[in-house]
């Protein structure tokens, strides 16, 4: 999908932000990315160190403006671009709508549990008919809004089993099928501990007896021994976590201990079929030294309010949690609606360093990198643009869409295309 024109923009040279990617060379060369076929599966390998890939150029910046300073009680974490250029921004309890030129246009919805209200926002997607589906984890509802943002109906997500949670990342075929993350809470006893798994499947909205696709393992969490942090799950710091993200009709799936993603699509029989693989086999990692381990613990504890819980949490990190030998390859993953895969190079909880991302066009075998300045957060990606939150010297956060013209014209691999 080509990048939509921005009605009101600030040219890169005049932007208030220090855009480190401005004016950089950005044409990927054939030597950097190789594409081969293996047993009917497309394999895309990013050759060499991803940190040496061409740097994307930021052409234009669109700033969201006009919202009251006290609109969000927390830093907004959820960003959803609509097909017509408008943006929904949320901290999970407040839901603001911004017009295509970046002006605040009022609330999208209000918090609550009534019809059209949202208790705990988990995700959005927009169907082929431009209708919007909103996922509410508090009520297990999926609510449909018309393209004009009028509430029309809700669908109750069935309880697969007791103590099951869920989240929906995207729609695969319009507004009929969702990609669902299930917290299976399937405890398995380990020496002195318990382990909990999560799983992934798909669900057809509106059916009374939905059939989940074959379930895939999603990730691991620890429940520490009684007396350390009772009834609290801790993910293994810098451990082997898994992530799923939509990429066209496929879902990209990978573990953070290696830069290797499968692109799976749901087949006619409900099974997940691998369509392609995208990988960067030469991506380097850093050893977890005692200094890095201490920095991780210190940064993690600093972000919490002092309490008895914090004291026990720090004790658990120091005495009961086993750190791996090296850092993961990545921290977060995004998939744009046009099929670009975005992978964040691991940087832990640090915000005082630059944020490096690798962007791969798996269909034509091209790759780039983007560097986000210190103190900024990348919150969402769209067709040929990216959403950045930046704090100024007074600790006030502003929100911007960066236009990235080199990413125009990307489409998903053949087996992952929506049409």
Per DSSP, 111 falls in state: B
Nearest-CA neighbor of 381 among 368, 391, 394, 392? 368
Sheet holding 33-38, edge to edge: 33-38, 41-46, 272-279, 260-266, 250-255, 242-247
CATH superfamily of 10-288+323-416: TolB, C-terminal domain (2.120.10.30)
Nearest-CA neighbor of 99 among 118, 117, 86? 86
Per DSSP, 406 falls in state: G
Q: Which residues are bridge partners to 200 per DSSP?
A: 181, 216
Residue pair 132/151 in contact by the 8 Å Cβ criterion:
no
What local confidence, expressed as pLDDT, does residue 178 receive? 54
* Alpha helical stretches, state H, 30-135: none
d(CA 74, CA 58): 28
Tell me whether residue 129 is exposed, middle or buried, using C-beta atoms within 10 angstroms of its C-beta: 0 to 12, 13 to 18, 19 or more: exposed
d(CA 319, CA 316): 5
Tokens of 57: 């150029």
What local confidence, expressed as pLDDT, does residue 120 receive? 82
For 290, the enclosing helix (H) or strand (E) is helix 290-302
Per DSSP, 110 falls in state: -
CA distances from 393 to 65, 376, 390, 397 (A): 18, 12, 10, 10
pLDDT digit string (tens) for the chain, length 419 residues: 333 333 333 323 223 333 444 444 444 444 568 888 887 888 999 988 888 999 999 999 999 999 888 888 778 888 999 989 999 999 888 889 999 999 999 998 888 989 989 888 877 778 777 888 887 877 878 888 998 899 998 877 665 554 455 555 555 444 445 555 555 444 455 555 555 556 666 655 545 444 555 556 555 666 677 667 766 667 778 888 778 787 877 888 888 999 999 998 877 776 778 889 999 988 999 999 999 899 889 988 888 888 888 888 898 889 888 899 999 999 999 988 888 999 999 986 666 788 999 999 998 899 999 999 988 999 999 999 999 999 888 878 899 999 999 999 999 888 888 76
Q: Which residues are bridge partners to 261 per DSSP?
A: 278
Tokens of 155: 């669908």
Residue pair 297/314 in contact by the 8 Å Cβ criterion:
yes
What local confidence, expressed as pLDDT, does residue 181 receive? 53
Q: Where along the chain do its domains lie?
A: 10-288+323-416, 289-322
Nearest-CA neighbor of 92 among 68, 67, 71, 106? 71
For 318, the enclosing helix (H) or strand (E) is helix 308-319
Residue pair 63/10 in contact by the 8 Å Cβ criterion:
yes
Query: For residue 331, is it left (φ>0), alpha (ψ between -120 and 50) or beta?
Result: alpha
How many helices (H) and strands (E) the chain has is answered by: 2, 29
Nearest-CA neighbor of 132 among 114, 116, 110, 113? 116
**b/e 33-70 (16+ beta carbons within 10 angstroms → b):** bebeeeeebbebbbbbebeebbbbbbbbbbbbeebeee
pTM: 0.84
For 402, the enclosing helix (H) or strand (E) is strand 397-403
Per DSSP, 245 falls in state: E
Phi/psi for 238 (5° steps) reads 55, 30
């Amino acid at each position: 999908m080509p990048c939509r024109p921005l009605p009101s923009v600030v040219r890169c040279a005049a932007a208030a932000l220090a855009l480190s990617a401005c004016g950089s060379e950005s044409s990927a060369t054939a030597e950097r990315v190789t594409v081969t076929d293996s047993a009917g599966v497309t394999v895309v390998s990013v050759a060499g160190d991803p940190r040496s890939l061409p740097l994307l150029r930021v052409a234009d910046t669109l700033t969201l403006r006009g919202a009251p300073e006290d609109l969000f009680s927390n830093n907004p974490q959820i960003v959803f671009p609509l097909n017509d250029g408008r943006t929904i921004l949320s901290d999970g309890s407040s839901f603001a709508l911004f017009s295509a030129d970046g002006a605040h246009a009022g609330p999208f919805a209000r918090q609550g549990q009534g019809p059209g209200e949202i208790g705990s926002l988990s995700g959005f997607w927009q169907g082929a008919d431009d209708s919007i589906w909103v996922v509410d984890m508090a009520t297990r509802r999926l609510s449909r809004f018309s393209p004009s943002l009028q509430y029309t109906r809700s669908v109750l997500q069935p309880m697969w089993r007791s103590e099951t949670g869920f989240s929906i990342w995207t729609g695969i075929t319009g507004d009929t099928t969702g990609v669902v993350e299930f917290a299976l809470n399937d405890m398995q006893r380990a020496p002195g501990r318990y382990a909990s798994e999560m799983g992934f499947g798909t669900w057809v909205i509106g059916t009374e007896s939905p059939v989940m696709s074959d379930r895939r393992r999603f990730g691991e969490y620890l429940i520490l021994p009684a007396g350390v942090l009772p009834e609290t799950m801790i993910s293994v710091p810098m451990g082997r976590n898994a992530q799923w993200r939509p990429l066209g009709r496929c879902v990209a799936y990978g573990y953070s201990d290696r830069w290797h993603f499968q692109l799976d699509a749901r087949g006619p029989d409900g099974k997940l079929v691998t369509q392609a693989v995208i990988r960067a086999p030469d991506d380097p990692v850093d050893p977890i030294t005692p200094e890095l381990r201490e920095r991780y613990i210190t940064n993690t504890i600093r972000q919490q309010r002092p309490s008895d819980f914090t004291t026990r949490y720090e004790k658990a990190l120091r005495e009961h949690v086993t750190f791996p030998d090296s850092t993961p390859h990545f921290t977060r993953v995004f998939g744009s609606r046009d099929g670009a895969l975005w992978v964040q190079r691991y940087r832990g909880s640090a915000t005082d360093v630059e944020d490096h991302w690798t962007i791969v066009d798996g269909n034509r075998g091209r790759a780039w990198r983007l560097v986000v300045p210190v103190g900024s957060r990348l919150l969402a990606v769209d067709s040929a643009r990216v959403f950045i939150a930046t704090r100024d010297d007074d600790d006030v956060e502003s929100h911007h869409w960066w236009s990235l013209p080199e990413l125009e014209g990307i489409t998903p691999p053949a087996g992952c295309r929506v049409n």
